[in-house]
Amino acid sequence: MMLEFYGQKVQSRLLMGTALYPSPDILQKAVKASHADIVTISVRREAATTQLGQSAQSGEGFWELIRELNVRLLPNTAGCKSVKEAVTTAKMARELFETNWIKLEVIANDDMLQPDLFGLVEAAKILCDDGFDVFPYTTEDLGAAERLLEVGCKVLMPWGAPIGSARGLNNPFALESMRAYFPDIPLVVDAGVGAPSHAAKAMEMGYDAVLLNTAIAKAGDPVYMAEAFAGAIAAGRSAYKAGVMEPRNMASPSTPVAGTPFFKLD
């Protein structure tokens, strides 16, 4: 069964960010290697050099680069710290990129980049009422998740760990609880994933997709790392569909004792 967001079907369960890559060429190759259908892009970029270095001379150059990838854009409100700022940025994104999709971020503080759940719900309601398809960057808080769904969100994007921390899934129990609590809602682990094994674990839990940026962009070889994440996500999804066995406290022989021959030595 294909993954679907707001009525749009996508092939890949890996969503990629476009920040921090060493060069435009490496970004393009990494996205292609990942087979990602969706990439995020920050609306607050003043110039392409903010994310891609001196080789890209203007925001228009960066936009041309993204268009060449033939992927679906998910603009984001990265860095916004208030409802007003996030809503204004989202409306700019809709005009600039001609899409109702928006990854909504309302950040609580600079140290942990944790979502401001109160502001997030308020901004999500404003944007949903205005016709946006909102992808909210949230925590594992079930109460906040319920409110986001009530105001019109049809997908949830809980963090695995703080943005860029590479700590993986800090609270697997809470993530598993969210998956069980919202069995029919698309769930995407967003932020904190540092290794392909982290992504595979999220998929084994039954999450629908993983969104990441830094783990690929800052790898020694971003292109190979993009391939590694694509493989890990596919493997994790297959394991979930197959049914991962539950862990045991005691050993269990793979070869049954009953029916096996016994030999007695005199």
Active site residues: 103
For residue 138, what are the β-bridge partners? 158
User: Cα(92)–Cα(19) distance, rounded to whole angstroms?
Assistant: 19
172: left (phi over 0), alpha (psi -120 to 50) or beta: alpha
Q: Is 29 exposed, middle or buried (0-12, 13-18, 19+ CB in 10 A)?
A: middle
Classify residue 25 by its DSSP letter. Answer: H
219's tokens:
């790898």
- Tell me the C-alpha distance between 193 and 14, whole Å: 12
Token representation of residue 247: 């862990």
246-255 — which CB contacts under 8 Å span 24+ positions?
none
> What is the spatial distance between Cα 203 and Cα 181, in angstroms, rounded to a whole number?
16
- Structure-block tokens of residue 70: 């033939």
Tell me the C-alpha distance between 102 and 74, whole Å. 6
Put residue 113 in one of left, alpha, beta given phi > 0 → left and psi -120 to 50 → alpha: left
